[in-house]
Amino acid sequence: EKLKAYQVYLSACPFKKISIFFANKMIVHKASDAKTLHIVDFGILYGFQWPILIHHLSTRPGGPPKLRITGIERPQPGFRPSERVEETGRRLARYCERFHVPFEYQAIAEQNWEAIKVEDLNIAEGEVLAVNALFQFNNLFDETVKVDSPRDAVLRLIRKMNPDIFVNAVTNGSYSAPFFVTRFREALFHYSSLFDIFDATLPREDLQRMNLEQQFFGRE
């Protein structure tokens, strides 16, 4: 049901589709000669970005590289905080098996991404390292909140990782401002424009639209 809702979203609104296309194309290009490709994905959620990349890797002349994915996500409430991000890994493993791409997965469920250390990521020598963060850093407080901000700490972590490619997409809004009213107003501007698009392309009673609004936009 989540995948169906996501497909409806991609068909109705081009923004994330274009970002995913660009990110995957740049990563595949960087890993054209790699024996191992390691993707560290900040905010992997259900991993919907990666099946098309796996398919592209499977068609590479000379055979696919080994694919390693480190999926970083915020924990779920309850007794199994890492269940969703681990299930994402199992789903991607089945997809890699189908397309004969060697696969390794590591799940990290961490509320405070700035607390992650380079050692936690198990980066190996000789692999092509790609860091992917699509529309995730808007939840990290910036320097307007405190000088040594969580956002800067995560960016320092990425610098220490020294990736071969870093793909970052951001929503153009002040979501890390220290004042709630500012954050709320910016979010209202952004999501009202999305809902205007959906009103023009999807019926309001569409089940998949309601699902994506509740499960994706409600969460955000």
| Average pLDDT rounded to a whole number, residues 127-145 | 85
Express each pLDDT in 5-42 by its tens digit.
888 888 888 888 999 999 999 999 999 999 999 999 99
DSSP character at residue 87:
H
Express each pLDDT in 153-185 by its tens digit.
999 999 999 999 999 998 877 777 778 898 888
Q: Residue 144 has what pLDDT? A: 67
Average pLDDT for the chain: 91
CA separation for the pair 186, 173 (Å, rounded) = 6
Q: Which amino acid, residue 142?
A: D
CA separation for the pair 120, 132 (Å, rounded) = 17
Q: Residue 220 has what pLDDT? A: 73
pLDDT interval class at 124 (50, 70, 90)? very high
| Average pLDDT rounded to a whole number, residues 33-53 | 96
pLDDT interval class at 46 (50, 70, 90)? very high
Q: What is the pTM of this model?
A: 0.90
3-class DSSP string for 153-217: HHHHHHHHHCCCEEEEECCCCCCCCCCHHHHHHHHHHHHHHHHHHHHHHCCCCCHHHHHHHHHHH
How far is CA 29 from its chain centroid? Answer: 19
Q: Which two tokens stand for residue 90?
A: 């199992």
How far is CA 167 from its chain centroid? Answer: 10
Q: CA geometry: angle at 85 spanning 84 and 88, to 5°?
A: 90
